[in-house]
Amino acid sequence: MDTLTNWRERLISKTSRPTLVTTYRYWLWLALLTVVLINGMYQYSTQWRNGLYVTDMRDRISWGLYITAFVFFIGISHAGTLISAILRASKASWRAPITRIAEFITAVALIVGASFVLIDMGRPERILNVYLFGRWQSPIMWDVMAITTYLTASIIYLYAPMIPDLALYRDRLSKKVGTVRAFLYRTLALDWRGTPSQLKLLGKAITIMMLIIIPIAVSVHTVVSWIFSMTLRVGWNSSIFGVLFVAGAIFSGVATLILVMAILRRIYQWEEYLTEKHFVYLGYLLAAFGAFMIYVNINEYLTEGFKLEEAGEFAFRQLFIEDFAVMFWFYIIGGLLGPVVLMLIPKTRTIGGVVAAAILVDIAMFLERYFIVVTGLRVPLMPYEPASYAPTFAEWSIFAAGIALFCLLITIAIKIFPMFAVWEMTEEHEAVFAGADRAQESMATSGAPNAAAFIDGAPDQRQRTEGDAP
Interacting residue ranges for another protein, rule: CB under 8 A: 50-53, 55, 57-60, 62-63, 117, 120-124, 126-127, 129-130, 132-135, 137-141, 144, 227-228, 230-233, 376-377, 380-384, 387
When the beta carbons of 56 and 103 are compared against another protein, the nearer one is 56
The residue among 264, 258, 437, 273 whose CA lies nearest residue 352 is 258
When the beta carbons of 140 and 156 are compared against another protein, the nearer one is 140
d(CA 168, CA 427): 15
Min separation Cβ 363 and another protein, Å: 26
Min separation Cβ 376 and another protein, Å: 8
Min separation Cβ 121 and another protein, Å: 5
Burial class (CB in 10 A: 0-12, 13-18, 19+), 419: buried
When the beta carbons of 52 and 101 are compared against another protein, the nearer one is 52
- Hey, what amino acid is at 215? P
Half-sphere exposure of 120 (CA within 13 A, CB side): 22
Min separation Cβ 12 and another protein, Å: 48
Min separation Cβ 235 and another protein, Å: 12
Min separation Cβ 126 and another protein, Å: 5
Q: List Cβ neighbours of 256 (8 Å cut-off, separation of 6 or more).
A: 76, 79, 105, 109, 358, 362
Min separation Cβ 379 and another protein, Å: 11
When the beta carbons of 158 and 379 are compared against another protein, the nearer one is 379
When the beta carbons of 138 and 152 are compared against another protein, the nearer one is 138
The residue among 92, 106, 11 whose CA lies nearest residue 421 is 11
The CA dihedral of 334, 339, 342, 346, to the nearest 10 degrees, is -170
Min separation Cβ 396 and another protein, Å: 18
When the beta carbons of 23 and 45 are compared against another protein, the nearer one is 45
DSSP-assigned states of every residue in 308-346: --TTHHHHHHHHHTSTTHHHHHIIIIIIIIHHHHHHHSG
Taking CA atoms, 186 is separated from 163, 164, 200, 376, 424, in Å, by: 10, 11, 21, 51, 20
d(CA 175, CA 95): 31
Min separation Cβ 216 and another protein, Å: 20
When the beta carbons of 12 and 373 are compared against another protein, the nearer one is 373
When the beta carbons of 104 and 370 are compared against another protein, the nearer one is 370
Cα Rg, the chain, nearest whole Å: 24
The residue among 297, 231, 259 whose CA lies nearest residue 67 is 231
Counts for the chain of helices (H) and strands (E), in that order:
21, 0
Q: List Cβ neighbours of 458 (8 Å cut-off, separation of 6 or more).
A: 275, 276
When the beta carbons of 124 and 467 are compared against another protein, the nearer one is 124
When the beta carbons of 51 and 194 are compared against another protein, the nearer one is 51
DSSP, collapsed to helix, strand or coil, labels residue 25 as helix
Taking CA atoms, 375 is separated from 68, 228, 418, 459, in Å, by: 12, 12, 43, 45
Min separation Cβ 114 and another protein, Å: 13
